[in-house]
Structure 1
Amino acid sequence: MDDVPVWAARLRAERRNRLWTQREMAKQLVDAADGQARARLPGRESLTRMIKDWEAGRHRPKDPYGVLYSRVFGMNEHELFSDGGAAPRRAPADVLKELHRQGDPLSPIANRNGRRVSTETVADLSSRVHSLRLADDVLAGGDLIQPAFRELEAAVRIYREGIHTEDVGQGLLVAIGEFAQIAGWVASDAGQRDQAARTYRLGISAAHEAGDGTLESNLVGSLAYQISNSGDPSEGVELAHTALEVAGPDAPPRARALCWDRVAWAHARNGEAQATMRALGEADDALADDNGRDEPSYLYWVDAGELQIMKARAYTELRRPLRAVPLLTDVLSRYNATHTRELALYLSWLAVALADANEPEEAALAAGRMLSLSADVASDRTAQRARVVLARLKPYRDLPQVRELLINHR
């Protein structure tokens, strides 16, 4: 690919990021054309051959194909076909190869003399990891980080030191992957993002070794979510699309929906509105598609309400408050008040959306409730969101309600 022009490599990368074949890309270009232009386009096979030539850099697309590409990818035509700018995003296969190149922290120790591990031990670990997830619903990362990592380390020790059959070993690897996912989430919530990233990668190794694509996808998606929030949003997009590819088209509906949700959020953080909207629609479709697959217990929380929350957050991130406010108001009217951290986080999005809608008094009310709820919550997420909310309200400091809030929470 070294001799391929930048614009050609960009066309290829953008297509692969969407997991489209060249034939599917041809369909997208046809669908993007209006009636008269569509009638003048060549047949699907001819257009597919043209796409191969374009991606190889043999010819630059002429009118109307540049316009059609920009519509499909949601990018400015000049930016899409320029010879400069940022390098194209990596394809999911390349991202996954890099994730797997992390060494093997799970190799059994030599001359193991530990006890024989039974299926009952695996079942006990599965029960314990689910209890940890349920605890995370009501406790913050600062409260859970020590017990979460004790459980993870114990599971790794059992796998490395114990004697077990191949089936039991696979069950242990799955348990390690599940512990790593929730422990990584807890560490991220506690503000320990480097520790969280290392833990997610440990889980990715365990799930990959166990051959559990759904779990591996969840772990890659969790890492994508963290990086989208606190790292390079473009890298978050790469990882989110990688998680989608690892899950595959036959993954359980909730798993596919969660992947698309994380893709949507990554694109929203990267300011890519069209890609965000498409991913949100795909998430809805995935959740509605009952393909008969058994769903892992760790997906219990993925439902229509969670997809609605992600839509509202994405709309807020894209500065579309008229879409975000009604969704957030609806969700908050029936949200479980025992989930204090999540309630505070969603109030923070409502406060920002109301400020963007030029409703500073209402924004101050939502912000005040958010700050009150999160005052004793040991969560770095709520602390970060509090800073975002207060910064967004500063332009309205001349209003009494806002001024009082800013003074009380300097």
Structure 2
Amino acid sequence: MLGLTPSTTRRRVGIGDVARIEAVTALYRSVDYEIGGGALYTDIGRFAEAASILLASADSNHATTSLAMAVADARQLAGWTAFDAGHHSDAGRHWLAAERTAVTSGNQRLAARIRYCQARQFQHLHHNQDALATIRLAKDALGRDATPALLAMLRGAEAASLAALGEHSTAVASLKQAAGHFDDINPDREPDWMRFYDRGELLAQHGRVYRDLARHDRRHADAAVTWTQDAITAFGPQNIRSTVLNTVGLCSALALADDPDRALTVGTTVIRHGRELTSRRIQDRIRNISRDISPDIRHSGLADFRHTVTRVA
């Protein structure tokens, strides 16, 4: 399949083609959860682009819509692994292709998932106004196609950007809405690709919002610790990267809560696990721990740790 070109692919597409694309995408996704996108983004990018060529060259038949959804899903994953690996231009390119395919096929639910990914990248790059605009576009476009899981996911992401922008009361209100939507989820009525959004994801957004609140008012720090610990507990053993990302958040929360000994213990674990995963995003998050540790910290171990994280490559 990786050798496909537009001049060699015009043929009738069958259900078997769709099933093969879905199976390969699912395999790549499971590996991405375990070891990070850095080990995969080149291969999954080539695979997703080849699938796109197949879609562009396929004769129109009853399987074409299913193929379009499989291709959009593959391009979404290609974008996510590129984002995780720190290749932001490639991530944006894959997500634009995925969004275009989903919208053209009339699948606003999948388009919302892709726009959520775009918003997460904007947040990582500190473009929170752009993230909010993208999230709100996703919500508005969903209309009657909205499901509780999609709304919970989007409201949680919205809360994170609002908190980062200093709109704290609105952020907490969005979190409450996210939790309410989450309680209404019926897995049998959600798209299969929304199964990633579990309680761990919801709790992680709570932890992220309360860490931002604690940076302005340390009275929120204990809540940030609790939410983040609960998120780590909720993530399954197969989702190693999310566990590590939230362990990074826990280190920050403990520093904000003025618990330097535990922050140092967790931070030491973070450094070790961060080296085991091929995720540039984790490295970026580890460096960001330094903003939550005062340069004037008198705890010698934590002071040395702060110096260490600023030099993480």
Question: What is the TM-score with the length of structure 2 in the denominator?
Answer: 0.88
RMSD: 2.3
Aligned to 1:190: 85
How far does the alpha carbon of each residue in 1:336-360 deviate from its partner, in whole angstroms, 9 at most, with x for none?
4553322221111111111112222
1:200 paired to 2:95: yes
- Please show how residues 39-58 of structure 1 align to structure 2 within 5 Å: none
SS class of match (2:276): coil
Alignment size in residue pairs? 301
Contact 1:355 1:393 in 2 (8 A): yes
In the alignment, residue 267 of structure 1 is paired with which amino acid?
A: L
Task: Give the distance between the partners of 1:143 and 1:364, measured in 2 at CA.
Answer: 29
1:369 paired to 2:269: yes
In the alignment, residue 201 of structure 2 is paired with which amino acid?
A: E
In the alignment, residue 276 of structure 2 is paired with which amino acid?
A: D
What is the deviation of 1:250?
4.1
Percent identical pairs in the alignment equals: 24
Task: Give the distance between the partners of 1:113 and 1:368, measured in 2 at CA.
Answer: 51
Aligned to 1:271: 166
In the alignment, residue 356 of structure 1 is paired with which amino acid?
A: L
Task: Give the distance between the partners of 1:390 and 1:313, measured in 2 at CA.
Answer: 16
What is the deviation of 1:164?
3.4
Task: Give the distance between the partners of 1:292 and 1:380, measured in 2 at CA.
Answer: 32
SS class of match (2:208): helix
Task: Give the distance between the partners of 1:240 and 1:370, measured in 2 at CA.
Answer: 30
- Please show how residues 3-42 of structure 1 align to structure 2 within 5 Å: none
SS class of match (1:318): helix
Contact 2:274 2:282 in 1 (8 A): yes
Aligned to 2:217: none
Aligned to 2:138: 243
1:130 paired to 2:51: no
Contact 1:348 1:389 in 2 (8 A): yes
More displaced 10-residue stretch of structure 1: 379-388 or 316-325: 316-325
Q: 1:260 to 1:308 in 2, by over 3 A?
A: same
1:120 paired to 2:16: yes
In the alignment, residue 97 of structure 2 is paired with which amino acid?
A: L
In the alignment, residue 93 of structure 2 is paired with which amino acid?
A: R
1:281 paired to 2:176: yes
- Which structure dedicates a bigger proportion of its chain to helix? 2
Task: Give the distance between the partners of 2:33 and 2:241, measured in 1 at CA.
Answer: 8
In the alignment, residue 154 of structure 2 is paired with which amino acid?
A: C
Q: 1:155 to 1:182 in 2, by over 3 A?
A: same
Q: 1:174 to 1:312 in 2, by over 3 A?
A: same
What is the deviation of 1:335?
4.2
Match of 2:50 among 154, 175, 178: 154
SS class of match (1:191): coil
Which of these two proteins has the greater Rg computed from alpha carbons?
Answer: 1
SS class of match (1:142): helix
The gaps in structure 2 that reach 5 residues or longer are 215-219
1:347 paired to 2:247: yes
Match of 2:301 among 393, 396, 401: 401
Task: Give the distance between the partners of 1:403 and 1:323, measured in 2 at CA.
Answer: 24
What is the deviation of 1:382?
0.8
1:164 paired to 2:60: yes
What is the deviation of 1:305?
2.6
More displaced 10-residue stretch of structure 1: 151-160 or 321-330: 321-330
Task: Give the distance between the partners of 1:164 and 1:122, measured in 2 at CA.
Answer: 14
